[in-house]
Amino acid sequence: MRRVAAVVVSALLVTGCAARTPLAPDASGEEIYQAICAACHGADLRGEIGPPLGPGSDAAAMTDEFYRVTITRGLGRMPSYGGTLSDEQVDRVIRYLRERQKEG
């Protein structure tokens, strides 16, 4: 019974972090982040359900390739967005994160 409850809670967390509105193919990195990532990582990148991604965070030291793989394949509780975002959209999100990380 505990296992079933854990699976249900995990599923609710993941679905709560998914985009609720369709994205335009030419959406900016910030628009994509706010639509898909902010629910878990925070609108200000300070983290909530997911870890912080902003300036001074451990994530700021990660490579672009780490971000690319994590976004497209998922990692831990983070779902995969490889079927949701194009390679170009993933790159825009990464550029947005890098720009924000430099602000700190």
Instruction: Please report the pLDDT score of residue 23 as a whole number.
Output: 86
Phi, psi dihedral angles at 83 (to 5 degrees): -90, -5
Question: Residue 89: what residue type?
Answer: Q
pLDDT per residue over 25-81, tens digit each?
A: 899 999 999 999 999 999 999 999 999 999 999 999 999 999 999 999 999 999 999
The pTM of the whole model exceeds 0.75: yes
**Euclidean distance between CA atoms 51 and 4, whole angstroms:** 25
Contact 36, 18 (CB under 8 A): yes
> Closest Cα to residue 57, out of 67, 65, 47, 68?
47
Please give the residue that has the higher pLDDT: either 20 or 41: 41
- 2-102 CATH fold: Cytochrome Bc1 Complex; Chain D, domain 2 (1.10.760)
**92 vs 7 pLDDT, higher one:** 92
